Structure formats: C-alpha cells, structure tokens
Amino acid sequence: MPQRPPPLGVLLRGLLAVALLLPAVMGADPASAAVADDLGGQPLTERNVRAFLDRRVPELLAAQRVPGAAVVVVSGGRQLVAEGYGVADVDSAVPVDPAGTAFPLDSVTKSLTATAVMQQVEQGRLDLDADVNDYLTGFRIADTYPGEPVTLRRLLTHTAGFEETLTGMLGQSPEDRRSPGAYLAEHQPERVYPPGRVAAYSNYGYILAGHLVEIASGQPFEEYVTEHVLRPLGMRDTVVGQPDEAARRLDLARTYTPDGDGQRPVGRVVDNSVPAGGGYATVTDVGRYLLAQLGDGRLGDAVVLSPESAGAMRSARFQAHPALPGTGFGFQESPSSADAPRTGHGGDGPGSHGRFQLFPDGDAGIYVVANGDGRPSRDGLLRDIVVKEFAERFFPEGRSDPSALPTGRSDLAGVAGSYVTARMSRSEFIRALLMMDHVDVDVTADGSLTVDGTAWVPHGPDLFRHERRLLALIRGDDGRVIGLAYSADPATAYLRAPWYAAPGVLAGAAAAGLLLLLSTLVWPAAALARRLRRRPAAPLRRVPLLARILAGLTAALAWLLLVLLWHIRTDISGSLPALAAEFPLPLLPLTAAAPLTAGVLVCAVRAWRQRWWRPAGRVHYTAVAVGAVLVLAAGYAAGLGWPNLPGWFPPLPA
C-alpha cells in the first residue's frame, strides 16, 4: 500500500497545476531492487555520480517507457556531471544533449518567479506582507475574509486560500492568449480558505505573484526575468514565455505519453500561466541556477539575490506542524535528517516531469527531467526515483531518525473519516478528478491511525509516523481535527469531508446508480428473445414505450460519462485540451441527462398511477429512476454538470 496519498500533483502541478494530478498508474519497477545493495555513504565524486546515473537512468527509461531524460549535478561551486539519456525526438531518434536539449520547466518556473519577487522586495517596490490589492490596478482580489488579505507571503507559500482553477490556463489557438493581468481578472478563483491557515497548491497564486513583478518593475514578466535573473546567471538556453517562442529560440525536446506500444506527442499551444509554469531550459542552465542558490544568490561575479533573500526562499515560511517540512518561496522542504537538510521543487506538464533538490549543507544539488509521462512504478516517476536514490547514496540520513522524536497520545475523537486534497475546485468540473486524491482514515484501539490500509503509529502531539514519514493532524480553532498534513508534500493538506460528500460515498452512489441504469438492457434483450422465439409481443402503448426510451437514453449518457472520465484519468496529457475548454466535453453527458432524469421521474409516477406495466415492471422502472437520480446527484456533487453547483467544499473556521 502507498505510504501517503497518491500524488495528484505529480500529474497536475504546473498545468492544473489540476496536477492536478490523478493517481499514478501503478506497476512494479523491475530495476528497483538493483540499487539496494550499494546505497549509502558514497563520496560525491564525478566518477561515483556518473556511474550511478549511467546505470540507473537507462534502467528507469526502459522500465517506465520514457523516451529520454537529462540530469545535472552540481557541487562545490561547479557543475559536477551533466548527462543526457535516451532520445529527444522519438521519430528522428535525436539523442538528448544536456547542454543543447531544452525541456519544459513546468512548475520549476515558480522558483524563478519567487526569485524575481524577492528582487523587488529587496528594492522596496514590493512588501511580502502588504495586501496585494495595494499594488493591483486593473482588478482587485475579492475581500472574502475582511481583515485577512492576500499577501505575497501567502501567494509564495500556497496559503492564500484560493480554490484550484484550470479554465483559461491553456489554449489551443493564438486567440486564447491573454496577458497575465487579463487572465487573472477573467478567471479569478474563489477564496475558499482563510489565508495562512492551510496549504493548497495554487498556480493562480504564482501567476498573480508574477503579475505583481510586472507592476512593480514596469516590465513584462518574461522580459524582467530574462534581464534580471537569466542573463546575469548566464542562462542563455532558457526561455520564460510562450511555447512558440521557446520553440523558436531553443532546441526543445518533444514530450510524449505512452500510446499502446508506442509514444504519442503531447504539448501545449498557448500558456496563460507563464509565471507558474512557462519556463524551458537545458539542464546545464538549471545547474547554474542551482549554483546561484547554493551560493546564496551569487554565481561568480553575478549577484541576483542577497544571502538573506536566498535563505528566506529555501527555508520554511509555512509549516502545518512544527515537526513537518514546510514551504518556502518557490521551494519546498523535503523529509530529511538534520544531517542533510534538503529543499527543492518539482514540475509536471503534458509529457514532461522534472525535479530539483538542493543539499545546502553538502553544497550540492541535482536536477532531473524527462520528456515522457511513461508508466510510473509504485515508487513514483523516474525523476522522483533518481532524486531519492541520489540522496540515499550520497547524502544518507543520519542521527535524526524520526523514531528519536518524542512519542505521545493525541485526542483522536472524530478523526476517523475521509479526507480530500485541499487543492480542490468549487466552480470547475475538475473537482471530480481532484477528489480522486483522497484518503480514508480509521482509528485503532492503541491510538494509531490506519490510512488507506497503512498503519501510522503515535509519534508526538498530533503526530504519527510510518517508517521515516510523518503525518500531522490539523486542528481548527475549536480543537476539532479538520485535516491532515504529510511530510512528503508540504504544499497541500488534506481536509475532512462530511460523510455524505466523501468520495467513497459518492462513488458508491454513482456505482449503484450505474448498475440500476444498466438494467435497462433487459427491455431490448427481452424483446429480442421474444422475436427469436417468434412469440407475439404484447401491444405497446406509445407513452410507456417513450418512457423506456427516455430511461435508455439516460442510461447511455451516464455510461458515456464514465467512459470519458476513465479516458481522462488514464490519459491526462492527451485530455488537457478538453480540460482547458470553457465548456469541456465531460460536462455534456450529465448536463444532457439532467432533463431526461426529470422526465424519467415523471414517467415513474405516471407508471404507477396509470398502471402501464405489471407491478414487477413498475418496480423495475422506479429502480431505474432511482439509479438516474443517484448518478445525477453524485455527478453534480463532483462538479460534472452544468451549471456548476458548488456542492460540498472542505470548510475551515474563519
């Protein structure tokens, strides 16, 4: 069983930023056991690093069916290793060149955006704790929580309280392109949490932070970052901007998702989320950025940040629990020992996945990026496995084993239940996809928690441990538990759902409804059987016949919705154009089924009053009507119908 919830961010961050991701396709990694015998404590030398990468990355490319990858490792103020593996283009078999092949940065771009913000803070043009409305000119952020404004500090730590939003972020034609200010004004999400109370990963927040840089500097965001971050650091093969601009200026790797036995190209045309995920770079360029961060804002003679600002970016600015890693500005701390603290950021897009991690005390860093979704193993994506095993090999955890932390019991009253990612949408259909990222919690007699079948033992006040991972309870002002936080993902919490809106309950209701609707196949099957046996059919009255046709159409639409959702879940990259549309395709079946369901209910009532069929037939039709209602209610609760009904949303006390 997984040790924490399936990382939705793995597939959504940067674009769904919906991240959205979705549970990874699970499978065994046949090469995972190959490294167990030689991990831990090796010197960080070019020879050792190259030996590890040259063996492990090709293994993972083959095991996970990823076309290509590139890695850079920096240490001691210089690039230690930069290597490319596999191909940048499947059709032409062009090999990956670490110094020449550029990959999407996706949400790694957020670190560059935070750097630009801190530059403006240093110059006194922006204040981390000022209301962002003090700077905005073309629109204003809604004053949902009077006296608790959105600030840059909240934006950069994903604690501004915005719901997740996707509409308008990506476009399929040049006409879809919007300036940051126009996009932010047109697609402002609701503020659903009081700021500073809970982490909920937000692309909108970083787009807004980038727009504030534009306002403060008087330059377009892309121009500012190029002039004040990229150029001083010598990052000549990096573009922060639109996909077509990056394609003109760089030798971009094509990005892919598995398609049968082959690979299908995926990508984007217009990106209105540039400050949150619109960067493209070679790994050697990213290595220069890592060196600048390890140098506290300095690389050679270039200084892009003060040591104080660089340190503020990398360290925790928000923590759900004092014992858990926290979010910095464009950085997220990773679970680690005091011997080897580590921090970094990941990025995920259609067919591209990257992650960098710094080891400040070891004066080292690594960045791994791949140009394919592949088939992730139970250990995660290629980039996560390489970074994890690199850390285990060259920066093994030491004396601060989590078992050394104080143990203790907590008040677990009311803790059992279902918890859903705080990265939730109230107003968009992606709520259904995001709700797949949830966990079910049970409390055992000894005070431990069982989370999706995995045992977490008490480890201190409101703290629990599984192996080296930690889980913390989040309490509201009244002391009740309202959420969970994991050491493995400090940028997103999990919030308690009421029983009637728990994903399992909604899924069960939908499943029961679909089965009842499936029983409509009995009618044509019975008619066919009578015809084959040449038995005379009973006289059919027009209205009862139309009632059955109405129910059959409703059933067909419900099952069509299930097929569309399955396709999106298993092929998120290829489905992004539909996800980004103003009226996405998945809304059509349930929206069309709504008036049909009303008709089926009316027919069910008339069937009893006018005795259309025998009692068994009327009972069956009534059951079909109940099935239609169950599917409709569950679907609209999950945001799958139009107009969108907000339904349940994780509440937090103001």
CA neighbor of 134 nearest in space, from 117, 118, 120, 150? 150
pLDDT for 532: 83
Separation of alpha carbons 451 and 255, rounded Å: 35
pLDDT at 267: 80
- For the chain, percent of residues with pLDDT exceeding 90: 69
Give Cα separations from 195 to 60, 205, 263, 430, 564 (angstroms).
40, 12, 42, 23, 35
> Is residue 414 a contact partner of residue 474, using CB atoms and an 8 Å limit?
no
The most distant pair of C-alpha atoms in the chain lies apart, rounded to whole Å, by: 94
Cβ distance 153 to 200 under 8 Å? no
Cβ(597)–Cβ(628) below 8 Å: yes
Q: Among 409-418, 546-555, 591-600, where is mean pLDDT lowest?
A: 409-418
d(CA 419, CA 434): 12
The residue extents of the domains of the chain are: 9-109+243-399, 114-221, 403-500, 501-637
- Using CA atoms, how far apart are residues 376 and 26, in angstroms rounded to an integer? 6
Q: Write out pLDDT tens, residues 596-626.
A: 999 999 999 999 999 999 999 999 999 999 9
Q: Is the dihedral of CA 395, 396, 399, 400 positive or negative?
A: positive
- Assign residue 8 a region (left: φ > 0; alpha: ψ between -120 and 50; beta: otherwise): alpha
Q: Please list, in sequence order, all residues whose beta carbon lies within 8 angstroms of the beta carbon of residue 357, skipping any fewer than 6 positions away.
A: 334, 342, 343, 344, 365, 366, 387, 390, 391
Per-residue confidence (pLDDT) for residue 537, from 0 to 100: 58
| DSSP at 162 | B
| Residue 428 confidence (pLDDT) above 90 | no
Q: Which residues contact 486 (CB under 8 A, 6 or more apart)?
A: 4, 5, 324, 469, 470, 471, 472, 494
Cβ(240)–Cβ(112) under 8 Å? yes
- Read off the pLDDT of each residue in 21-48 and give the average, rounded to a whole number: 54
403-500 under CATH 2.60.120, yes or no: no
Length of the chain: 654
Q: Are strands 251-252 and 101-104 parallel, antiparallel or unpaired?
A: parallel
List Cβ neighbours of 548 (8 Å cut-off, separation of 6 or more).
520, 523, 621
> What is the Cα gyration radius of the chain?
26
Average pLDDT of the chain to the nearest whole number: 87
Average pLDDT of the segment spanning 317-335: 94
Banded model confidence at residue 72, pLDDT cuts 50, 70, 90: very high
Q: Which residue has the higher pLDDT, 38 or 171?
A: 171
Per-residue model confidence as pLDDT tens digits over 459-475: 989 999 998 889 999 99
Q: What is the mean pLDDT of residues 236-249?
A: 96
In 3-state terms the chain splits into helix, strand, coil percentages (rounded to 5) of 40, 20, 40
- Single-letter residue type at 451: V
Q: Are strands 262-266 and 101-104 parallel, antiparallel or unpaired?
A: unpaired
- Extract the tokens encoding 8: 């939705």
Q: Does domain 9-109+243-399 have CATH number 3.40.710.10?
A: yes
Mean pLDDT value of segment 254-273? 91
User: What per-residue confidence (pLDDT) applies to 34?
Assistant: 40
Cite the beta strand spans of 351-500 per DSSP E.
Answer: 352-359, 364-370, 417-421, 438-443, 449-451, 454-460, 463-466, 469-475, 481-486, 489-497
Residue type, 520: T
Residues 501-545 have pLDDT tens digits of 889 999 999 999 999 999 999 999 988 887 887 776 556 678 899
Most confident range, picked from 15-29, 175-189, 380-394, 581-595: 380-394
Q: In what helix (H) or strand (E) does residue 195 lie, and over which residues does it extend?
A: none
CA distance 629 to 631: 6
Which residue matches tokens 């002002």?
477
Helices 615-637 and 503-518: angle between axes, nearest 10 degrees: 150
Please tell me the distance from the alpha carbon of residue 436 to that of residue 424, in angstroms, as a whole number: 11
Residue of higher predicted confidence among 626 and 585: 626
What whole-number distance in Å separates Cα of residue 275 and Cα of residue 209? Answer: 8
- Specify the higher pLDDT residue, 29 or 601: 601
Question: Given pLDDT bands bounded at 50, 70 and 90, which one contains residue 40?
Answer: low
CA distance 289 to 429: 37
